[in-house]
Each structure stands twice: as structure tokens, then as C-alpha cells.
A = this chain, B = another copy of it.
Amino acid sequence: MTISKKLKKSMEQGSWIRKMFEEGILLKSKIGADKVYDLSLGNPIFEPPSKFTQLLKEYIEKPTAGLHRYMPNAGLPETRSAVAKNLSTEIGLRFTKDDIVMTCGAGGALNIIIKTLLDPGDEIIVLAPYFAEYFFYADNHGGKCVVLDHDSNFMPNLSMLDDVVNEKTKMVIVNSPNNPSGVVYPKTVLDELGIIIKNLELKYGRDIFIVSDEPYRKIIYDDTSYNHIFSSHPNTIVATSHSKDLGLAGERIGYVAVNPNNENKTEIIDGLTFSNRVLGFVNAPALMQHLITHLQSETVNIEQYKINRDFLWENLTEIGYEVIKPQGAFYMFPKSPIEDDLAYVSKLRENNVLVVPGSGFGSPGYFRISYCVDDHTLKGSIEGFRKVFRDHR
């Protein structure tokens, strides 16, 4: 054996999204990319806001001396202050730079949070349908994910939380706006979660953190409001990135924000900073930190995402699919017309439409459509959705 046995096993579990991605490449090379309607990936299609380029230009004209050097592991003080200021305005709690750690995207953020909070053997509750990477992130640090199921509206079955939490539970991950369902948890759900967790903390005599993974926070439609987690419980931490709201997914820039009212926040921030260092992130990329300092109130134009959502939802509903209209993110999660979502997704692929089976998100019987795609892809996919639906009626 050359590589790690443990890693090999993880790799074999693989990822549905990645699998679809590879099958998509194969199909595209066979019949031509323009004939394949690939709705399998959540790769933002927009360029960053024009202010991004303008700031880059200003930087070149007047470079900050020493910007590209090592810095404190938590990030540039001015960037952390700008993030804190924006959060204070948005949320109405008083954040300072000492509540913020800049990270390599939300993936980096979640990894340093898990390393900071979990001991080997500890458990994380994930709410189905979930982003499958959580399982790998937990495993990186000796942790284990345990799933809490959802109701027909993709809301967590909070009444079942008591059954899945035990003396090893250290964290619950909330992801709203949700990937893959596009639902946004209402404040009542977050508050109920907070109350139940408080009781479970008393029952087991240990802290249990609610970690909100919210890279889609600013991608919200209609009159839906973003509900922050901080007022629901003091043991709350946000992990996020500018991948989607500023179109910077490849630049790996995000942050962790710890509840300013948490009584152990200094210890937590110190742990996050240390974890950022020893996991090899060291610090979030310097130039991006510098740029996003001045982009905290900017967002890519999400109007096109809304147009895509409406077009897709109207067409799928008209065909006969059962699908909840998403309130955020850029995914839709229809019910598979047959129980076997893997088989249904295969049928769609035979008709040149690529989507991801719900099994990859802990919710068999559904499939995920990403609508952050161009017009040709979105419109071209409808015929395949219609044909396969009719064939299975």
C-alpha cells in the first residue's frame, strides 16, 4: 500500500457531486459540451462586482508596503474590523475584530472550527438534507457526523434531536439558505433549536455549539429575511465565505465570527487562530483580505439567479414535478417521481441533463438542480426534465 488506507476508504466513499462532474466531462467529450445540460455544480457564474476590479487597480497604483508578507494568523486587523463593523450593522450585535478570524473560504472556516471544538470521538449533528463535505471535515479531526432528518418542507425534525444527541455531541451544523434545498430556516426554527440545545447542554453538562454555515446568506429572494443564529444561543459561531456573494469561490476568502456574547470567546478565537496556523492555512490570502475589507456591503447582482429560479420552478411545476420554491441559494430540490433517485438521475443523464441524486445529501428520493448556469443550459434542460417525467408517469 502506498497511500493511507484511511484516506483510500474516504476516497472510495467519494462524492456524488464529483462523480456527476466526471461523468459530465465524459458525456460532453462524447456528444459535445453544448448538447449537455449540466446543472450539477454550484459554481457561481458571475464575475466579482466592478468595485473589486477598481480596488485592485487602486492597489496597483498605490501598493500597501508589506501587504504580501506573513501577518497575524487571525488575519489583517483592518479586515477583521471591517467584517465586524458590517456584521454589527447587519445583525445589531456589537462585534469587534477580536470576534473574527479570516479564513480560506467556508471550507477552511469549518475545518478550524471543528479542530478547535472537537476531541477525537466527539459527534456533530448535521441536518438533512446536508452538504456532504461535512462528513469529511468531521473525519479530518477524529469526529463523526450524525444525521437529523427533515420534514416534508425540509425543516429539521427538532422533536427528534433528543434521540441523536448524546454525551459525545459537541456541535450542530445549520446551513441556511440551504444547499441543496434552497429553504431558509425561519427565526422560530432557530430559536427552538437554541432552546432545545440549551436543555441538552444542561442534561449532558457540556457545551454544544450551533455552527451556522452560511455562504449563501446574501443570496435570498423575495421578502425572505436572513435570520442570524446569534440571538438563539450564546454558543453560536458563523462560518462563511465571499465565494458566492462576491463571486470569489476560487480565491478562498471567508471568515469565522464568534458570538460576541459568548463568555469563552477569547479561548475559542485563540483556538481558531492556532488551528488556522497548524492546519497549514496560516492566514487567509493577503491580497483578498485587503480587497474585501472595502467590499463588505457589496453583493453580485442576484437578479439573474432569481430569474433562473422562477423560470425553472414554473417549468418543473408545470411538467408535474413536486418541488418547493427556494427562498435562497441557487439550488432546487425536487422530489424524484420514482423512489429510486439514482435511477431517475441516470435517466436524466441519458437525456443529457446532469443533476445530483438526493442520496448524496442524505435525502434519497430527491435530486438537486443547480440553477447558477447560463441561459442555454437552463432552457435546454427543460425538454429532458419533461421527457423523463412523462416516461415515468
Q: Which of B10, B108, B268, B287 contacts A3 (CB 8 A)?
A: B268
Q: Which residues of B are found within 8 Å of A57, using beta-carbon distances? A: 60
- Interface-forming stretch among A225-233, A248-256, A309-317? A248-256
Question: In angstroms, how far is the closest chain B Cβ from the Cβ of A124?
Answer: 13
Query: Please, what's the 1-or-0 string for A1-22, where 1 marks a CB less than 8 Å from any CB in chain B?
Result: 1111111101100000000000
Complex CA–CA separation, A284 to B111 (angstroms): 16
Q: Which of B112, B274, B286 contacts A251 (CB 8 A)?
A: B286
Complex CA–CA separation, A104 to B280 (angstroms): 8
Question: In angstroms, how far is the closest chain B Cβ from the Cβ of A307?
Answer: 20
Beta-carbon contact of B70 and A47 below 8 Å: no
Q: If A10-B278, A44-B69, A70-B43 touch, does A271 touch B3 (CB 8 Å cutoff)?
A: yes
Complex CA–CA separation, A251 to B63 (angstroms): 15
- Interface-forming stretch among A132-140, A159-167, A346-354? A132-140
Q: If A137-B280, A249-B69, A250-B67 touch, does A117 touch B287 (CB 8 Å cutoff)?
A: no
Q: If A69-B44, A247-B68 touch, does A116 touch B4 (CB 8 Å cutoff)?
A: yes
Q: Which residues of B are found within 8 Å of A182, using beta-carbon distances? A: none
Answer whether residue A194 sits at the interface, using C-beta atoms and an 8 A cutoff: no
Answer whether residue A334 sits at the interface, using C-beta atoms and an 8 A cutoff: no
Q: Which residues of A339-366 are within 8 A (CB) of B?
A: none
Q: If A111-B279, A280-B107 touch, does A250 touch B3 (CB 8 Å cutoff)?
A: no
Question: In angstroms, how far is the closest chain B Cβ from the Cβ of A289?
Answer: 8
Q: Which residues of B are found within 8 Å of A43, using beta-carbon distances? A: 69-70
Answer whether residue A222 sits at the interface, using C-beta atoms and an 8 A cutoff: no
Beta-carbon contact of B281 and A281 below 8 Å: yes
Considering the complex, give the chain B residue whose CB is closest to the CB of A288: B285
Answer whether residue A390 sits at the interface, using C-beta atoms and an 8 A cutoff: no
Q: If A2-B207, A71-B250, A247-B68 touch, does A281 touch B107 (CB 8 Å cutoff)?
A: yes
Q: Lowest 3 CB-CB distances: which A-B pairs, in order?
A: A250-B286, A107-B280, A136-B278
Sampled A-B contacts (23; CB under 8 Å): A1-B206, A2-B267, A3-B264, A7-B274, A7-B275, A10-B274, A10-B278, A11-B270, A53-B63, A68-B247, A68-B248, A70-B243, A71-B250, A104-B280, A104-B282, A111-B279, A111-B280, A136-B278, A250-B285, A252-B281, A280-B281, A281-B281, A285-B285
